[in-house]
Amino acid sequence: MRLARLAFALVLTIIVADAAAQPYPARGIRLIVDTSPGGLTDLLARLTAEALAARMGQPVVVENKPGASGNVAADLLIRSPADGYTLMVAAAGNLAVKPFLERSVPFDPLLDLAAVINVADAAHIFVVPASMEAKDLAQFIEYAKAHPGKVYYGSAGIGSPPHLSLELFGRLAGVKLMHVPYKGIGNALPDMLAGRLQAMSISLGSALPYLKTGQIRPLAAAAKERLAGLPEVPTSAQAGLAGWEMSAWFAVFAPKGTPANVIRLVNQRLQAALDDPKLRQRLLDLGAEPGGGSPESAAERLRADHRLWGQVIRDAAIKLE
């Protein structure tokens, strides 16, 4: 009996060692999402999983882990083995601002996460209701300066990207805009359409239905380049306000300590997918600009967001209620 147990243990050791020696990936990968099914993050994660599975030759299973504003998913990721078999798709900008808005964050986004690749950008656009007299960004800024304290904008809540975006806008433009927080951007839109709000910073995907009906008017894109999905709208810099940029960008992350060769392989396979015209069009149909780039560029962008929005939050004394 003792010999049988020893033989079994030896065989098991050989199997485990053999599996460890196999080139990555030797089995399926799980892709954690920090939101419930159905939203943009979830849709991007499923496109990522599909593309990665096709190019890795292994199944990629999406697991939705919502809760605690994304902290549940991030905590699960950083506690997972750093072997490349557990990855996460998340809105990177949200991760960057967490330490400035939440009293107790169970992880450090700059130290505990390894950026793999930027999957997509959902750049914001500056919109006004169709009834608004301003026809371009310069006219809006002139209007806001002429009506201090009487120009209102809606957001998805205190500390949300639409809120931070227009705090930065106000600082750069030298205007005082009045913030009206809502529980989600969808709740703010009826007041926007009715003209009770005079401005919003909103992702292109969320704005598309109302742009098509002409109920809202885009004045500028908060991006370095014109959006492929809205090429007729100038960037903020082209419209006369340099420095105003806001994008809900979505990236793939791995646990800290994941081997560099594994991160590089996942990056290369997803870059190939993002270069595919079919996937690019699917992203554009969602109102998102295709991403890409190296792990280092994704990591630097996360650090840059951390610096920028941390300063905006401190200067505006933004605190969660």
pLDDT at 27 (0 to 100): 97
Whether pLDDT at 143 is above 90:
yes
Whether pLDDT at 10 is above 80:
no
92-104 pLDDT per residue, tens: 888 998 889 887 7
The tokens describing 42, both together, are 């979830």
Cis peptide leading into residue 25 (ω within 30°) = yes
219-242 pLDDT per residue, tens: 999 999 999 889 999 999 999 999
pLDDT at 16 (0 to 100): 42
Whether pLDDT at 250 is above 70:
yes
Q: Which residue has the higher pLDDT, 5 or 114?
A: 114
21-75 pLDDT per residue, tens: 579 999 999 999 988 888 889 999 999 999 999 999 999 999 999 888 788 999 9
Domains of the chain: 28-122+247-315 (3.40.190.150), 123-221 (3.40.190.10)
Binning pLDDT at 50, 70 and 90, where does residue 2 land? low
Contact yes or no for 59/29 (Cβ under 8 A): yes
Q: Which of 249, 251, 253 is nearest to 86 (CA)?
A: 253
Tokens 């505990």 appear where? 112
Q: Which residue has the higher pLDDT, 70 or 245?
A: 245
Q: In sequence order, which ranges of the chain are alpha helices (DSSP H)?
A: 2-21, 40-56, 71-78, 92-101, 137-146, 161-173, 185-193, 204-213, 260-274, 277-285, 295-315
Percent over 90 (pLDDT), the chain: 72
Spatial distance between the Cα atoms of 318 and 165, rounded to a whole number of angstroms: 13
Spatial distance between the Cα atoms of 20 and 243, rounded to a whole number of angstroms: 48
Whether pLDDT at 251 is above 80:
yes
Binning pLDDT at 50, 70 and 90, where does residue 105 land? confident
DSSP state of 105: -
27-41 pLDDT per residue, tens: 999 999 988 888 889
